[in-house]
Structure 1
């Protein structure tokens, strides 16, 4: 859990001492200042998450201190401390940027609750600002397709619950990302999120990793070792690839789910644990249970709530948005200038089936970004199998920067879709208008036959399907 800091600016030493004791007990790091000027001097060095500010101090009025804080750290939540007779002044301070106020003597529970709300509010404001800039401090599901909108809604609804969640989806769809989002949306978000890949270790090692062991349990066990369940106490444990658990471990996991206790290897006394369990699998776990390869009672315990992540091939509308998001992230990771994907590059991405889903897309984009020498990403930077699925770059070896637009100009079909988009770029109308008109004409010429239309336009059928949906032409 990240340490949270509160700066208490109050000229009364006894009151600062009392606030410090209460807030330290609630998990805050407390910094103190004995007046307004000292508080402003400490603002930059302390970098607090929240400020508790007394309204009346001899050296500097609380309202004046608030104005300086707002100028230096806009968005920093400031909670005013005021005597009962000065509530009006505190309310006035809220009009000028204060987050809330508390009256003296402060109720300890109310103090803790107000600080928690202020901290959460500031975090949400910060995260929203980062999202608008295309960045984020936390996990984000990128996509505008209806299936992803629905998935985000379900995560927001399910996250705060305590129930076990089974996350299902093909490899590379983002099951771990969804687990992180569920944890962040829960009341356990300040506790640990402990990840376990159940397919990464053999059964005997996995048991000791999950449940720990006591001194003397086996040769080499020279001291007690806590398991992942104990490390996740107060938080969440994420069991990835839970379908790979051996039968013997499935029984122990079932007991942990039912009774919220574990038994370390060699131990004789059950150990209680307070954890929420999230599990993920790329298998059809219900079918596995019905076939006798997975305990049916454990399946129903894990699948109290089920989330299914759609594969990337079922949501091609999200590929351009995902590509932009991933290119920003990969540019920062590799210290590379972010390159813009050309229309032909995106067409090629849309033509591929993405068996490895988002993970495969990320790898392909990272390869293209590292190999790129020009400002634009072009299809020749893609793996051969994707280029072949898209239609290839011609028989001659392409020069760096040669794109499908260049190849399309040689087609007898009148230049292909990419060439028509080039006309739009030269002033014959917007790119989308020209592209839509080209598709409509090709559909009319070929009597609505989509395969022939795609071939004439120099794009894959999958890309054509995406563009028909984009321009509202699916019914034609």
Structure 2
């Protein structure tokens, strides 16, 4: 039963509304002046307040101001028999939901009440959804690298400085971008994401800047671009290292001038956007190779952030596993699963070439496919538990220290070293050979000699 507080000094109004609201299934409570009304709000936490403007003591507008200071989300409908358009506009600017005139019409009062309560329900659902989304994008971990990253975010977020986030695939660069936005002064404005690597070259300008009707084949209507949609908010340019030089030049112009034209248009549009860019590439190397503009790099790299790979913060793996177990158990409407200690140890000693994304995908699969409530060692995929994927530093079977002689220890170390480097480079042989300073053909021979299976 929804509680509705009526604040009015007229006995007849309170009496009439009491009967009407009770007949409709509401619980009405009353106050005869503003001071009493504020106390009732504190005691009753009403779903809606019907507030008269002209009352002895503090009037309705002052009561509204004080109420909104303490309870910003409170729904208030103003009532007055002497109202003017100016008064109504002032009340709405102060946060009132609606304004109804006296004498009160039964149908209008009930319609206003129902609409206000529906709005309250939508606001509550929106708050719940935002809280759930925020939890899904929460940065998990208390290791030193993550603690330093969180501290840097808290310092940089309230500013308007542009940000460049670097890190391997799957480390959580988007989480950092969202954390910066959520802690910024733009948190109530849009967060618009663009994956520069996923948009075809011939469409990225239209995607970023929008287009006018008839500007190209298929442009049947005018369309706003991402810069337009992110106005006053944050634009996240993910994988900016994959953007063409032509598009980089246009993005640089927007960052410098804060204005642009849509594709096929002549009208200049001004925007206020904070840009956060992210890449898994070494942009300084890309600049040397002629693939990235040096001036754009320095324009974006005002506030640089680096997201460490999971192998450099292994102490966070257990927290991440528990977080993902709870998340996916809830998502699949199942009893929350747990990870057996020996299985957890294997997860903590794996090198995670796909970083947090790989761990997240694995936990989702285990939650769905494991029949019991405890995920055991035998439930883990073979590539995590096999001898050749065990880290020699963990003390598991397969350590070079367990070898019978120096030659066997050397071979075991070489196999483990090559395997780890392959995993870190996502099984790319050319990249791995370059990193470890070994001829590609020689690396191929060693992979075959050690019986290492290449992952696709």
Q: TM-score range by the shorter chain?
A: 0.5 to 0.7
* 8 Å CA contact retained: 1:36, 1:65: no
- Tell me the residue number matched to 1:248: 246
Q: Secondary structure at the match of 1:306?
A: strand
* Alpha-carbon shift at residue 255 of structure 1 (Å): 0.4
* Alpha-carbon shift at residue 349 of structure 1 (Å): 0.1
Runs of 5+ unmatched residues, structure 1: 1-6, 14-32, 47-52, 114-121, 393-407, 412-450, 452-461, 463-476
Q: CA RMSD in A?
A: 4.7
- Tell me the residue number matched to 2:33: 57
Change (3 A) 1:83 1:354: farther
Distance 1:348 1:143 in 2: 18
Change (3 A) 1:11 1:323: same
Distance 2:162 2:178 in 1: 14
* 8 Å CA contact retained: 1:36, 1:59: no
Distance 1:375 1:67 in 2: 44
Question: How is 1:249-268 mapped onto 2 (pairs within 5 angstroms)?
Answer: 249-268=247-266
Distance 2:310 2:26 in 1: 46
Distance 1:45 1:285 in 2: 62
Q: 1:145 aligns with which of 132, 143, 146?
A: 143
Q: Secondary structure at the match of 1:238?
A: strand
- Tell me the residue number matched to 2:325: 327
- Tell me the residue number matched to 1:166: 164
- Tell me the residue number matched to 1:68: 44
Change (3 A) 1:390 1:326: farther
- Tell me the residue number matched to 1:229: 227
* Alpha-carbon shift at residue 336 of structure 1 (Å): 2.5
Question: How is 1:48-127 mapped onto 2 (pairs within 5 angstroms)?
Answer: 57=33, 61-69=37-45
Q: Secondary structure at the match of 1:196?
A: strand
Task: Give the alignment's TM-score, normalised by structure 2.
Answer: 0.62
Change (3 A) 1:371 1:192: same
Change (3 A) 1:34 1:213: farther
Q: 1:207 aligns with which of 205, 208, 213?
A: 205
Q: Secondary structure at the match of 1:204?
A: coil
* Alpha-carbon shift at residue 62 of structure 1 (Å): 3.7
* 8 Å CA contact retained: 2:33, 2:58: no
- Tell me the residue number matched to 2:8: 11
* 8 Å CA contact retained: 2:210, 2:263: yes
* Alpha-carbon shift at residue 374 of structure 1 (Å): 2.2
Establish whether residue 373 from structure 1 lines up as the match of residue 338 from structure 2: no
Distance 1:45 1:164 in 2: 51
Change (3 A) 1:247 1:62: closer
* Alpha-carbon shift at residue 8 of structure 1 (Å): 9.1
Q: Secondary structure at the match of 1:324?
A: helix
Distance 1:172 1:187 in 2: 27
* Alpha-carbon shift at residue 167 of structure 1 (Å): 1.0
* Alpha-carbon shift at residue 272 of structure 1 (Å): 1.1
Distance 2:214 2:379 in 1: 57
- Tell me the residue number matched to 1:446: none
* 8 Å CA contact retained: 2:339, 2:376: yes
* Alpha-carbon shift at residue 195 of structure 1 (Å): 0.8
* Alpha-carbon shift at residue 66 of structure 1 (Å): 2.2
Runs of 5+ unmatched residues, structure 2: 73-86, 96-122, 391-395, 398-408, 410-419, 421-456
* Alpha-carbon shift at residue 292 of structure 1 (Å): 2.3
Change (3 A) 1:86 1:268: closer
Of 182-191 and 54-63, deviating more is: 54-63
Change (3 A) 1:158 1:378: same
Task: Give the alignment's TM-score, normalised by structure 1.
Answer: 0.60
Change (3 A) 1:391 1:172: closer
- Tell me the residue number matched to 2:386: 388
* 8 Å CA contact retained: 1:36, 1:57: no
* 8 Å CA contact retained: 1:352, 1:390: no
